[in-house]
Amino acid sequence: MSTRLFLAEDDLILADALKTSLSQADFQVDCVNDGSLALQILLHNDYDVVVLDIGLPNMDGLTVLKNIRQHKPSLPILILTALDGLEDRVAGLDAGADDYLAKPFEFAELEARLRALLRRSQILPQSVQQLGNLRLDRAGQRAWCNDTPLDLSARELTVLEILMSNIDRVVTKEQIVSELGSDNAEVGLNAIEVYVHRLRKKLEPCGVVIRTIRGLGYLLEKQQPHSFDAG
């Protein structure tokens, strides 16, 4: 299967040459030369890797990059630009770029850098756990659904961590209360039901489900076709 690559480049001749070369290297390439259009496409479509020029019309590449990082923190993005000063490289990397390649360049180097980005993106850090389209970063205390950050309260996040630590195993309400921390005396069994109810709503688009196992507790698992919640 071809790797989906998005290219945003305002030089039409270079863009055409890159699209041809990358296609021959087994990339499936979509290409635009406008920053605002690039942002809209990236927000609403999934790609494996992005090559982004800084000098785009209507919206510059750094603005596009900063916006994309808010919604797709793990998407590999390489900046391709004629701006090669130290300050330019620092600005690009600080804005969220994974790599930076200055023009002029050799295509072989670009392809090698893209392959390296793809390899790194396929290796999740040990603190990151994934189920379906749900990704949890325990170290960073963040969670994403389809690369969109989830808005979770501290206790909702803790309940999610407990459930993610016991995928396909039943977790009792009492177990959740005991693991909520030093303030667990303030948390009753009814409160756990509230947290789980809220999590269910927020996890609906993620391809996972929290099932109620009557008389036992809760079970986090991947959503199966035509499955339904037991409670």
Cβ 174 vs Cβ 187: under 8 Å? no
pLDDT attached to residue 230? 42
The domain 128-222 is classified under which CATH number: 1.10.3730.10, 1.10.1740.10, 3.40.50.150, 1.10.10.10?
Answer: 1.10.10.10
d(CA 138, CA 100): 28
Mind listing the pLDDT tens digit of every residue in the chain (231 residues)? 568 999 999 999 999 999 999 999 889 999 999 999 999 999 999 899 999 999 999 999 999 999 998 888 788 999 988 877 777 778 888 888 889 888 888 999 999 999 888 887 775 555 678 888 898 888 778 898 877 889 998 889 999 999 998 887 899 988 888 877 645 456 677 888 999 999 999 998 888 999 999 888 999 988 765 444 444
d(CA 54, CA 79): 7
d(CA 45, CA 16): 21
Backbone angles phi, psi at 219, to 5 degrees: -135, 120
Give the residue extent of every domain in the chain.
3-121, 128-222
d(CA 15, CA 17): 5
pTM as predicted: 0.56
DSSP state of 16: H
pLDDT attached to residue 202? 93
Q: Which of 194, 223, 198 is nearest to 211 (CA)?
A: 223
Superfamily of domain 3-121: Response regulator (3.40.50.2300)
